[in-house]
Amino acid sequence: MQAEIIAVGSELLGPARLDTNSLYLALQLQQLGVEVGRKAVLPDRVDDLAEAISAACRRSPLVFTTGGLGPTEDDITVPAAARALGVALQLDDTAVHRLRWRFRKRHLRFTANNLRQAMRLSPARWLPNSVGSAMGQWCPTPLGHLVLLPGPPPELHRMVSEQVLPRLVKLVPRSARFTRVLSLVGLGESQVDALAAPIYSRVANPSTTILVTAPQQVELHFTAIASTLAAAQARADRLASQVARRMGNAVFSREQNSLAATVGGLLRQKEQTLAVAESCTGGLLGASLTQAPGASDFFLGGVLSYADSVKLHHLGVPAATLRRYGAVSAPTAAAMATGVCRLMGSDWGISITGVAGPSGGSRSKPVGTVFVGLCGTARPVETFRLRLSGDRDRIRASSVQLALNQLRLALQ
Amino acid sequence: MQAEIIAVGSELLGPARLDTNSLYLALQLQQLGVEVGRKAVLPDRVDDLAEAISAACRRSPLVFTTGGLGPTEDDITVPAAARALGVALQLDDTAVHRLRWRFRKRHLRFTANNLRQAMRLSPARWLPNSVGSAMGQWCPTPLGHLVLLPGPPPELHRMVSEQVLPRLVKLVPRSARFTRVLSLVGLGESQVDALAAPIYSRVANPSTTILVTAPQQVELHFTAIASTLAAAQARADRLASQVARRMGNAVFSREQNSLAATVGGLLRQKEQTLAVAESCTGGLLGASLTQAPGASDFFLGGVLSYADSVKLHHLGVPAATLRRYGAVSAPTAAAMATGVCRLMGSDWGISITGVAGPSGGSRSKPVGTVFVGLCGTARPVETFRLRLSGDRDRIRASSVQLALNQLRLALQ
């Protein structure tokens, strides 16, 4: 079965933003055996969009639009779809009621333009939005279905997983499909491919996809098709295990957990606690550890020691260490980690201090030089020197990932 | 003048890669006052691509294709363009000669399939490629021009700057374009639109776009066209100022700075310092303040007081306060803010404590209840109760934005 994706939004035609929603949709569809045959980006103009939707619905049985479901004059996907399919628009009382209730709950004023979000294509069914106010729509077309989805990625992702995939599974010819995902840290995409390709390229089913999903993080997706789900899963897992054996200790999850959640799980299992001391990352490590709920089981807190005075007075880094080795050094990282452990009474302490750039580098410590300290009860404090590349955002995110990875390896 | 961009390549329809060439092209075109009216991604199939090129050339005077000019069977842009325009293909002797010479120079074998790269649309002119072997083509169409460009970005960039822009400058009526962006915090998209639409909808030039760019953050883009850049800027700024006056103190930047960078700029200007005390955000506020380089001018650091023991022992929140009002309360937020100010010796202190969810809510403090504390020298400590909606990520990100906004308002 072939699908087309139409992203709606004039801002996606400028030099600053790309339609990234189509990557997510393509991945979900691929896993169901649905191929994306064409993508388009259209401006917020009813005529153009109606023409594009109409052409797509004449070509393909599945057409997805993303964006343009908001309450403003710019949001023209619903009227364009109505014109494309030659169907009427209905103001849906239940939807009006739901929107009013939603606004009241949030103490927001309900204005006339919000009624736009209650206009439904007459043959369509609503797709509830569990994150925002823009509901999606699922509308029959002569060849198949037109699916209107919201643009903001969190809303789109939830709606696709909760509403769209369960409907699609029923449409797609019956065969079971299972994807096993291996998440790896610390190896580059081409290293992973060089190790994995000799194994996965021998088989067509499962199919294999390599994705870079975060700095220092690569995912291998193995998708198998078989007559039953159990058979597909066994097939995907067999190949995943063969590949995983080649990857040493780089594989940290088979369930698409984040690295922080994986580390959190290991700490929870051992009933141990963690505190952090962050300099150049300024809180990014703590933010990442507390992104998933339940972090209070293992995360006590930390100290953001951006200024050297904080390293000195609150983490107990000796003045002599700062003077002799500098704030970006292995001895400072070691003292920060042991300092925060002692201060918070945690089982483990991680510290990060480095040159995130773009300025501040020197010949001996260029931009991208980062020291990670790791201390734990009943073991000597360890430090790791990282040599990272990329811009400031990338260096900070990579530091967090590789610091977490050191704790993961110590906990295993 | 309107342009369309068609990216060719089946790999651009999967879950791993996006057409980034269109961003570069859109920027170059925008600077000439040419608007990209539509973008599409097509697979390596002659029929589909011919149909798409034909439709684009019937709609728009400028059509660009990127990719599909290589020597393999997959490279089908030239035959598809020939079919779309109904023109013949010619094997060009000069091009064959040039290719053979290029191959000899590099000690590569010239095979029959390399002749594909010497096939020219009969009415087209070659666009030389100073980086690779795939030449581009510039072909007249009934409405204007079809331009075939190579896919690899270094080849595309050189060909556009050396060959395409000099030709375009002669075609495009001379006009300049300027976009002024207002960034707003704390108002929803529909509130902003309700306030702004009565003003911006009276004029077509500048054109106005509303974007949600982060939680609690909306951008208004005003793009004006005029005969000179100064006139376009004056025109965009006039409308931006009229709209800004309706927005009260919600506008925080006219230069697309982040809210954290705006607050950092205000602190730097006043030579004042800041420390943070974070509970439910776990470091997100510090991470956001240190995202831009130079934060050490104003940011001293902070305490991540995820566990109550850290609030008690390190921030000096009284045990009686925690017992009587709880960790998520105005008195605790106030004590956290004054505590971190005193501890770090900063001019300002911000604290955040709340229920980010999904569990942990109660009747009186449901998920999304967040308290922000703000203390500064020579002013009484203030607290703010936020009632936020959305998932955990959204509640945490909104907390950071609204906390930063309180400091911004205090600094103004």
Question: Which three-class secondary structure string do you get for A18-61?
Answer: CCCHHHHHHHHHHHCCCEEEEEEEECCCHHHHHHHHHHHHHHCC
Task: Tell me how many degrees the CA angle B307-B308-B314 measures, rounded to the nearest 5.
Answer: 95
- ipTM exceeding the 0.85 mark: no
Q: What type of residue is B53?
A: I
Scanning B90-149 for CB atoms below 8 A from A yields none
Higher pLDDT pick, A130 / A296: A296
Chain B residues inside the 8 Å CB shell of A327: none
Edge to edge, the sheet with strand B136-140 lists A125-127, A136-140, A145-149, A62-66, A2-8, A35-42, B35-42, B2-8, B62-66, B145-149, B136-140, B125-127
Q: Does B2 touch chain A (CB under 8 A)?
A: no
Task: Using the predicted structure, report yes or no on whether residue B151 has a pLDDT greater than 80.
Answer: yes
Q: Of the candidates B283, B289, B296, which has its C-beta nearest A286's C-beta?
A: B283
Asked if A299's CB is within 8 angstroms of B307's CB, the reply is yes
Q: Taking the alpha carbons of B50, B52, B58, B62 in that order, is the dihedral positive or negative?
A: negative
Burial of B335 by CB count in 10 Å (0-12 exposed, 13-18 middle, 19+ buried)?
A: buried
Asked if B24's CB is within 8 angstroms of A23's CB, the reply is no
Q: Tell me which DSSP letter residue B364 carries.
A: S
pTM, two decimal places? 0.78
Task: Tell me how many degrees the CA angle A67-A69-A74 measures, rounded to the nearest 5.
Answer: 85
pLDDT digits (tens, 9 = 90+) for B331-378: 999 999 999 999 999 999 999 999 999 999 999 999 999 999 999 988
CA distance A146 to A357: 47
pLDDT digits (tens, 9 = 90+) for B243-266: 999 998 999 999 999 999 999 999
Asked if B26's CB is within 8 angstroms of A14's CB, the reply is yes
Hey, is B58 helix, strand or coil?
A: helix
Asked if B209's CB is within 8 angstroms of A74's CB, the reply is yes
| Confidence band, pLDDT 50/70/90 cuts, at residue B87 | very high
Read off the tokens for A286: 């703590």
* Residue B167: CB atoms within 10 Å: 13
Asked if A289's CB is within 8 angstroms of B281's CB, the reply is no
At B358 the pLDDT is 94
pLDDT digits (tens, 9 = 90+) for B34-58: 889 999 999 999 999 999 999 999 9
List CB contacts of B70: < 8 A, sequence separation 6 or more.
B117, B134, B150, B151
Which of A33, A9, A34 has its CA nearest to residue A20? Answer: A9
At B154 the pLDDT is 85
Which of A225, A198, A196 has its CA nearest to residue A209? Answer: A196
Q: Taking the alpha carbons of B297, B401, A359, A338 in that order, is the dihedral positive or negative?
A: positive
At A276 the pLDDT is 98
Burial of A91 by CB count in 10 Å (0-12 exposed, 13-18 middle, 19+ buried)?
A: exposed
Q: Does B189 touch chain A (CB under 8 A)?
A: yes
Task: Please give the domain boundaries of chain B with CATH numbers for all domains.
Answer: 2-171 (3.40.980.10), 176-253 (3.30.70.2860), 259-411 (3.90.950.20)
Q: Of the candidates A13, A70, A283, which has its C-beta nearest B283's C-beta?
A: A283
| Confidence band, pLDDT 50/70/90 cuts, at residue B133 | confident
How many Å lie between the alpha carbon of B310 and the closest alpha carbon of chain A?
A: 7
Scanning B305-344 for CB atoms below 8 A from A yields 305-307, 309-310, 314, 343-344
Tell me which of A19, A72, A306 to substitute to probe the interface with B (most B C-beta atoms closer than 10 Å): A306
CA distance A288 to B304: 13
Scanning B283-302 for CB atoms below 8 A from A yields 283-291, 293, 295-296, 299-302
Asked if B191's CB is within 8 angstroms of A109's CB, the reply is yes
Q: How far is CA A81 from the centre of its chain?
A: 30
The answer to whether B184 touches B250, Cβ cutoff 8 Å, is yes
Q: How far is CA B75 from CA B13, B82, B95, in A?
A: 16, 13, 17
Read off the tokens for A154: 């969190």
| Residues of chain A above pLDDT 90, percent | 78
Asked if B36's CB is within 8 angstroms of A13's CB, the reply is yes
Chain B residues inside the 8 Å CB shell of A113: 190, 193-194, 197
Which of B301, B297, B295 has its CA nearest to residue B272? Answer: B297
Residue of B nearest to A357 (CA): B293
Which of A194, A206, A184, A177 has its CA nearest to residue A253? Answer: A184
CA distance B274 to B289: 10
Q: Do you find a cis peptide bond into A166, omega within 30 degrees of 0? A: no
User: What does the mean pLDDT of chain A come to?
Assistant: 93
Task: Tell me how many degrees the CA angle A8-A12-A13 measures, rounded to the nearest 5.
Answer: 105
Residue of A nearest to B15 (CA): A23
Q: How far is CA B202 from the centre of its chain?
A: 27
Beta-bridge partner residues of B136: B127
User: B221 — alpha (psi -120 to 50), left (phi > 0) or beta?
Assistant: beta
Q: What type of residue is A169?
A: V
Q: How far is CA B21 from the centre of its chain?
A: 15
Chain A residues inside the 8 Å CB shell of B307: 296, 299-301, 344
How many Å lie between the alpha carbon of A14 and the closest alpha carbon of chain B?
A: 6
At A174 the pLDDT is 67
CA distance B290 to B263: 11
**The pairing of beta strand A369-376 with beta strand A382-387:** antiparallel
Chain A residues inside the 8 Å CB shell of B210: 72, 74
Edge to edge, the sheet with strand A217-226 lists A207-214, A217-226, A176-185, A251-253
At B15 the pLDDT is 85
